[in-house]
Amino acid sequence: MCKVKDNVKEKLIFRSYLNMKVTFLGTGTSQGVPVIACTCPVCSSGDKKNKRLRCSIHIETGNLQFVIDTGPDFRQQMLRAGIKKVDAILYTHEHKDHTAGLDDIRAYNYVLERAIDIYLSEHVEKALKREFAYIFDADKYPGIPQVVLHRINNSPFMLGAQQITPIQVTHYKLPVFGYRIDDFCYITDAKTIPATERQKMKGLKCLVINALRKETHTSHLTLQEALDIIADVKPAMAYITHISHQLGLHADIEAELPEGVHLAWDGLELSF
């Protein structure tokens, strides 16, 4: 069973029967949509589904709440979604559109009165220590974000009582982690997904996968390439994310998609 909410303020019916809630905090690519100074039909659109912050999701399962990536819009996303708790952060990769908002987790340190657990690859750890050196200084400045780093590799790990299975994809030449949580899988910034990793994506209720635009791109899946992967792994339903203004208007592209495949939008909530 999956319920979809268009209005983030709407009460969730039968919530007690559901055990996972996914909120799309942002569904845009690195520049977001609208793009600064762009006057194309997508960037000029008044449809809220064509307004996309940088890519991130929030997951609530049982008593556990965590986010995947903290992009430059993190503060705005948390306020917009009304999220009061973040137990952990999972990082997909080190690019700034997925990490730049790390400093804003300080508010959750204050609320939870503890450090936030961060799960990340060696590549991401090195980048965070370089870009946010003050967080990791031996002589710490008061009020900085408090984090506990957990190095992960391409093997399942536990986040509290929840098993998380990494899915390793390639973003041009950069390794990126997608994540499978139960029968839900989230993949962003992929260009290629090896057959061994696709095997981990079988039997899904829901797959979220990136598709930048229709035209070929060096480091991102096109819409057709994403649809081909969806057809291969056969999830019960699929959503497209990490979308650029070049893909087209939400309503137009949504009308072209096969049954069971949809464009995600900022504020979309899925419950399983």
Confidence of residue 6 (pLDDT cuts 50, 70, 90): low
13: pLDDT strictly greater than 60: no
Cα–Cα distance measured from residue 138 to residue 71, given in angstroms and rounded to the nearest whole number: 26
18 confidence band (pLDDT: 50, 70, 90)? low
Beta carbons within 8 Å of 261's beta carbon, 6+ residues apart: 227, 230, 237, 238, 239, 240
Q: Which two tokens stand for residue 62?
A: 């049982």
CATH of the domain at 205: 3.60.15.10
Q: Is the pLDDT of residue 46 over 70?
A: yes
Counting DSSP H helices and E strands in the chain, the numbers are 8, 15
Enclosing domain of residue 35: 3-271
pLDDT at 2 (0 to 100): 62
144's CB contacts (< 8 A; 6+ apart) are 106, 134, 135
Q: Given this model, what pLDDT does residue 140 score?
A: 86
* 231 backbone dihedrals φ, ψ, rounded to 5°: -65, -30
Structural domains of the chain, count: 1
Neighbours of 226 (CB within 10 A): 23
Supply the pTM of this predicted model: 0.93
Instruction: Give the CB-side neighbour count of residue 228, counting CA atoms within 13 A.
Output: 9
Burial of 59 (0-12, 13-18, 19+ CB in 10 A): buried
Mean pLDDT of the chain: 94
Residues recorded for the chain: 272
Is the model's pLDDT at 16 over the cut of 60? no
**CA 235, CA 240: separation in Å to the nearest integer?**
13
- The string of DSSP codes covering 195-252 is HHHHHTTTT-SEEEEE--BSS--SSS-BHHHHHHHHHHH--SEEEEESB-GGG--HHH
Place of tokens 């996309």: 52
Q: What would the pLDDT profile of 166-199 be if each residue is shown by its tens digit?
A: 999 999 999 999 999 999 999 999 999 999 999 9
Whether residue 15 has pLDDT greater than 90 = no
Mean pLDDT of 9-22: 52
Continuous H helices in the chain = 74-81, 96-99, 106-112, 122-131, 133-136, 195-199, 223-233, 250-256
State residue 38 phi and psi, 5-degree precision. -90, 140
Place of tokens 């980048």: 127
Average pLDDT over residues 132-149: 94
51 pLDDT higher than 60:
yes
Structure tokens at 198: 């696709």
pLDDT 10s digits, 104-134: 999 999 999 999 999 999 999 999 999 999 9
Do residues 162 and 195 make contact, with C-beta atoms less than 8 angstroms apart?
A: no
Confidence at residue 23, expressed as pLDDT on a 0 to 100 scale: 98
pLDDT score for 77: 98
* pLDDT value at residue 11: 32
Condensed to tens digits (0 to 9), the pLDDT of residues 87-106 reads: 999 999 999 999 999 999 99
